[in-house]
Amino acid sequence: MTREAAPRLGIKLHVTDVKAADRLQTWGESDLGTALSAAANEHPDALFVYPDPILIAQGKQVADFAVANRLPTMFAFRESVDAGGLMSYGASLNAMGASAAELIAKILDGKRPSELPVEQATRFELVINLKTARALGLIVPFAFELEGLRRLEPRAVAIVYSVDPAIAALVGLIALGEGLSPTEVLGIVAVVAASAGVAAEGG
């Protein structure tokens, strides 16, 4: 499907295969380094990593390669983003594992497998590694950052917002040579104080 859709979207697709060291696909043993070098020789604009157990197990190597070659990279699972990849969108492995455990428990309780309905993933998550985005020189839309903040505890959000104005003022002073008026300084102090109060109450 990807091969058929790519030309319609004006995308030139280059597929690089990664082969395991043996037919059993031993984890951690593959020709990944060779495959990544072949991919780099094509000078791609971006990289999509197929959700394969070998590539998931070697997620850090793929992530390091992508940053070194300044390649925005898309994964299927957040575990690869936690290892340093740029972003992922897909089902939650933890949620799928929990669902599988529930099915096993039902079978052990006497349910016949044929009586159990086929379940599909219901939880999908978009995960972006802001540190990797900065390393690649990419700007993450503020809407995504807000969505991420919605999932944090109030105390954590308060800490983030209490630091932001001070950092912005410091960057403006150092990089742009722009000082602050007394009113602006008081405004920043008020925001920091209010946020610190929320953080203290949350603790």
Q: For 83-98, what is each residue's pLDDT tens digit? A: 889 999 888 888 888 8
Model pLDDT for residues 123-180, shown as the tens digit of each residue: 788 888 888 888 888 887 766 665 555 554 555 555 555 555 555 555 555 555 566 6
Q: What is the pLDDT of the chain when averaged over all its residues?
A: 75
Q: Does the pTM of the predicted model rise above 0.85?
A: no
Ranges 58-62, 76-80, 164-168: which has the least confidence = 164-168
CA distances from 62 to 5, 36, 72, 104, 184 (A): 25, 8, 11, 34, 45
Of 3 and 79, the one with more pLDDT: 79
**At residue 38, does pLDDT exceed 60?**
yes
Q: What mean pLDDT do residues 105-121 have?
A: 86
Give the orientation angle of helix 154-175 with respect to helix 182-202, to 10 degrees.
160
User: How is the chain split into domains, by residue range?
Assistant: 2-139, 152-203
pLDDT at position 23: 45
Residues 160-179, buried b or exposed e (16+ Cβ, 10 A)? ebbeebeeebeeeeeeeeee
Predicted confidence (pLDDT) at residue 24 exceeds the cutoff of 50: no
Please count the helices (runs of H) and the strands (runs of E) in the chain: 10, 4
Beta bridge partners of 124: 91
3-state secondary structure of 1: coil
Residue burial 29-53, b: 16+ Cβ < 10 Å; e: rest: ebebeebbeebbeeebeebebeeee
The token pair at 2 is 């990807």
Residue 10 and residue 148: Cα distance in Å, rounded? 31
